[in-house]
Amino acid sequence: MALRQQVAHLTFHDGLTGLPNRAYVEERTRDVLRDTTASRRIGVIFLDLDRFTAVNDSAGHGAGDLVLAQAARRLRATVPVQDTVARWGSDEFAVLVENAGTGPDVSEIAERLVAIVAAEPFRVAGQQIALTASAGVALAGRDPGTPDNPDDPAGLVLRNADVAMSRAKEAGGDRVEVYAAHMHADAVRRLEIVTDLQRAIGNGELTLQYQPIVELATSRVIGAEALVRWWRGGEVVTPREFLGVAEESGLIVPLGEWVLRQACAQGAAWQQASWEVGISVNLSARQITAPGFAARVAEILAETGLPPGLLTVEVNERILVEEDGLIVDRLADLRRTGVRLAVDDFGTGYASLAHLRQLPLDVIKIDPSFVAGLGHDDTLTLLTRTVVQVGRELGLQVIAEGIEQSRQLSALCDMGCDYGQGFLIARPMAASALEELIRTPGEAADEPNEPARLGM
């Protein structure tokens, strides 16, 4: 009898946190919905710890398990005792509110759960690990005036809460989203994009274009930023549509490797033609934290024959601010191989200038929102001038992004900013068009219909 009771407990409970598990939530949700009356609704909350993978990568899986156990205790203490708190799997939790009342009531619980995760760091072996959470809310029940329940109402409400949680993570995390009908259609579309993109990587549907980086005083091309483009069934898929999905699904790692390999091969070809044109490639957090990241970059450089000093990897400033521990360590390893490091969109991630000391940086790229205000916004003009001066005094190359008007170019030259890129200089273009620009400085190739500020 004791053994049977133990087996029954293990069947429906999580061994790490002691909470009910996914099987229990699914069964309990079905039972509650079978008993649901016309005036009663249930609510489901899905909660996921943002960037939890970085905890396992940096502190180890043992530390990650301790964080999950602490998170489980915080969540259980926050939810009313009559409601179920369960570990759905990995770093994801589910809450079943059996008498939900209205949507705002369940959303209020979800807001409290998100707040309690971020309220204070988790303490593990002398370390303090700060995390946030994303939560999704969905409701189910037979209300007057609403359509009949589907064949599997429990599965539907659980799926809807999961979809809403995914939307919260896509929006940046540390927030709550309530399920709406269009979210499922969006989720289906994202799944289709993932499937098609996975096939596109090996089917020649992807291509690279290059936006020139020039010396402002002479229009001499000194580098080019590689931007990925996707032709799906003869139609262009904008990077906004597929890069976020690639990051979320993990496809950004093979996609980023393809981009890096193609860009390095092109850079090596230019070097063999005696053109010292550097190649810049954007990297995401998921690429940088992938196992063997620095070694893989070194392999690609060796295979393509591109000298490390001609490759610049660009990292968005926000990534350094939000995930500076592991990211900084990985980038420092890469820098030791001779590859150049650039902070992209500098000024938008709320980083202090002290962040510039954490990495042996080579380049600062001023965000286009600063450049856009030159000539008519005194505050942005002052901030841009300050970044240019600080960068030069630190021995960094300063590149202004998003130059689209002559007044912006004039202001940057007056400030002493030596390098820039933007539509006024040249739009992204094929490698062959860039080669023509290298031969004839100041004459940009005509590439119409190219969307602005899109790329990796």
Question: What tens digit of pLDDT does each residue of 318-355 get?
Answer: 777 665 567 888 888 899 999 999 998 887 655 555 56
Give pLDDT, residue 323: 58
Backbone angles phi, psi at 340, to 5 degrees: -85, 150
455, pLDDT greater than 50: no
Give pLDDT, residue 354: 58
Sequence ranges of the domains in the chain: 2-179, 190-439
149-182 burial, b if ≥16 CB within 10 A, otherwise e?
A: eeeebbebbbbbbbbbbbbbbbeebbbbbbbeee
Mean pLDDT on 33-43 = 71
Give pLDDT, residue 350: 53
Give pLDDT, residue 262: 96
- What is residue 93's three-state secondary structure? strand
Where is pLDDT greater, at 112 or 37?
112
DSSP 215-242: ETTTTEEEEEEEEEEEEETTEEEPHHHH
- Output the average pLDDT for the chain: 86
pLDDT digits (tens, 9 = 90+) for 251-283: 899 999 999 999 999 999 999 999 989 999 999
143, pLDDT greater than 50: no
Cα(281)–Cα(300) distance, integer angstroms: 13
22, pLDDT greater than 80: yes
Name the pTM for this structure. Answer: 0.70
**Which CATH architecture group holds 2-179?**
2-Layer Sandwich (3.30)
Give pLDDT, residue 147: 43
Cα(155)–Cα(164) distance, integer angstroms: 14
Least confident interval from 229-238, 343-352, 424-433: 343-352
449, pLDDT greater than 80: no
Pick the CATH number of 190-439 from 3.40.50.300, 3.40.50.720, 3.20.20.450, 3.30.70.1350: 3.20.20.450
Give pLDDT, residue 453: 32
Written as six digits, the tokens of 219 are 């229009």
